[in-house]
Amino acid sequence: MVTPMIHALRPPLIAGFALLAFLLGASLPGFAASERAPIVVELFTSQGCSSCPEADALLAELAQREDIIVLSYHVSYWDYIGWEDPFASEETTQRQRDYALQFGISYVYTPQMVVAGAVEVVGSDRAAIEQALIDARETDIYPVAPEITHDAAEGLRISIPGADLDAEAQILLVVFDSEQVTEVSAGENAGRELRNVNVVRTIRRIGSWHGEPVEIILPLADLHSGPGSRDGCAIIVQLKDSGRILGGHALLLGDE
């Protein structure tokens, strides 16, 4: 079994920080379930990590499933060991650190997969990931089905239906490259050609949701700015306090 690479959090966890409020087996009070949304699976990885290519390949497999949205976040804390990951950023690294606080663990590691913002597992552990996906479906924790449409003139239209929600959720826009292939010339993966799918380039909050119907329009120029192909995007609706992801929708910008 591949051993994950662990990196201690700095600063350390604050004693008594709130643990994950909603576990997979818990219900969501005051919420009327609607159409099922895909499960959001987030992989925290690094091209400088010898344990990560197996998880990257597994994520690429999951990306073929219509009931799952996969996102690959490249972290920066392994850059010092010989290879600077071209897709790593402090923004994506901070998202993993936030999850560590949420899960009550004092370190971050790669490869790590987070399923629906509610469960974390080693990113190369196929059995654990499949079980987390089964548990997620059985507990029906995906009551929100946001929609994204786009055209050249209008831009990106994001619609979230109304629901009975007794909490605050964040609406996150994630912009990604659908595929990147890199020849790694140094570090632990030197000499390897690495393929990464749905490589996150930016993630930002574009609104809040308290259960009321929401519609947001963004110009396409906001999505294509910056380096990289940036040919895909996803909307994630995520509870602010617990981190549970209520739903998501992904779109390749060439899709109709």
Give the strand pairing for 112-115 and 155-160.
Answer: unpaired
The pLDDT of residue 254 is 64
Residues composing the chain: 256
The pLDDT of residue 7 is 61
Question: Taking the chain (256 residues) in consecutive chunks of 10 residues, what is each chunk's mean pLDDT?
Answer: 56 30 34 64 97 98 96 96 95 97 96 96 97 85 78 83 90 95 96 97 94 90 68 93 92 69
Calculate the dihedral angle through the C-alpha atoms of 231, 92, 99, 236, rounding to the nearest 10 degrees: -20
Bond prior to 111 in cis (omega within 30° of 0): yes
Q: Which domains does the chain have, with CATH numbers?
A: 35-252 (2.60.40.10)
Give the strand pairing for 119-122 and 112-115.
Answer: antiparallel
Question: Angle 126-139/52-62 helices, nearest 10 degrees?
Answer: 40
- CA proximity to 217, closest of 255, 175, 142, 160: 160
d(Cα 227, Cα 236) in Å, to the nearest integer? 22
- CA proximity to 36, closest of 178, 113, 138, 120: 138
Tell the residue number behind the tokens 């818990």, with chain if given.
Answer: 26
- CA proximity to 46, closest of 100, 6, 99: 6
Per-residue tokens: 27: 């219900």
- CA proximity to 40, closest of 65, 69, 66: 69
The pLDDT of residue 220 is 75
d(Cα 208, Cα 219) in Å, to the nearest integer? 19
Give the strand pairing for 68-74 and 39-45.
Answer: parallel
Chain-centroid distance, C-alpha 216:
21
Q: What does the DSSP assignment read for 6-33?
A: EEE-SSPPPTTPPPPSS-TT---TT---
Residue 82 half-sphere exposure toward CB, CA atoms < 13 A: 11
Sign of CA dihedral 104, 125, 203, 142: negative
